[in-house]
Amino acid sequence: MNAMYVDIETCPIQLDGYEDKEDEEKQKLINPIDSRVVAIGVKRADAEPIILMNYSEKQMLEEFWKIFGEFKKASSGNTIVGFNIKSFDIPFLVTRSFINKVKIYPFYIKEIIDLREYLTGFRFGKSRGTLKEFGEAIGVELIEDTDGSKIAFLCKSEDFEKIKEYLLKDLELTEKVHKMMITLDIDKIRQW
């Protein structure tokens, strides 16, 4: 299996007054109607990561689906991998593509590997554990002073380099967690 790791960063469309909102109100804005994609990271196991950002959301989405399609067409065994990808990244990308009138590359959800699902034994409902926490649990520590909750502030200050750096670290961690999961045969769990 050849894997392509995918992760996105999002930001509320309306940032005026964002910093004054309560955490619960901020959290409510993280949906594809009130927020947009500001960066998309993809990394194949055999290549350098690609970070799509610093231009229009529509262009980023078009480029992402092109990369996605080329990867999927290259081999039937090529798999998309991410952390919480089925609950967040993929739905967000599809909805924002709809809003931006961007044609997607058709795919089967069942063919996408969501590390969170496997690492929780396909537990139904909410479960504890962020990508960073799972990484730390297996001894992978990435020193960083940014997390997903700070992306809106980085967008507002237009610190795109910091967003890129954060996304690159997430892709690296996703790949390391996935490789450990394979080593431990956790990838052989089947839900149905």
Q: Could you give the strand order of the β-sheet that contains 2-12, starting from the edge strand earlier in sequence?
A: 50-53, 35-44, 2-12, 78-82, 113-114
Give domain limits for the chain.
2-188
Residue-averaged pLDDT of the chain: 91
Angle between helix 57-74 and 90-99 (nearest 10): 130
Predicted pLDDT of residue 183: 95
Instruction: Please give the structure tokens belonging to residue 71.
Output: 């990867």
Higher local confidence (pLDDT), 4 or 46 = 4
CATH number for the region 2-188 comes to: 3.30.420.10
Contact 175, 140 (CB under 8 A): no
Cα–Cα distance for residue pair 118/46, rounded to 1 Å: 23
pLDDT tens-place string over residues 100-121: 999 999 999 999 999 999 999 9
- Out of 44-48, 160-164, 181-185, pick the least confident: 44-48
Predicted pLDDT of residue 147: 66
Predicted pLDDT of residue 76: 85
| Whole-number Cα distances in Å, 29 to 11, 12, 84, 162, 170 | 9, 6, 18, 21, 22
Looking at residue 17, what DSSP letter applies?
T
Q: For residue 79, what pLDDT band results from cuts at 50, 70 and 90?
A: very high
Predicted pLDDT of residue 146: 60
**Statement: residue 171 has pLDDT above 70:** yes
Higher local confidence (pLDDT), 174 or 129 = 174
Could you tell me the pTM of the whole model?
Answer: 0.93
pLDDT tens-place string over residues 17-72: 888 888 888 888 989 999 999 999 999 987 899 999 977 999 999 999 999 999 99
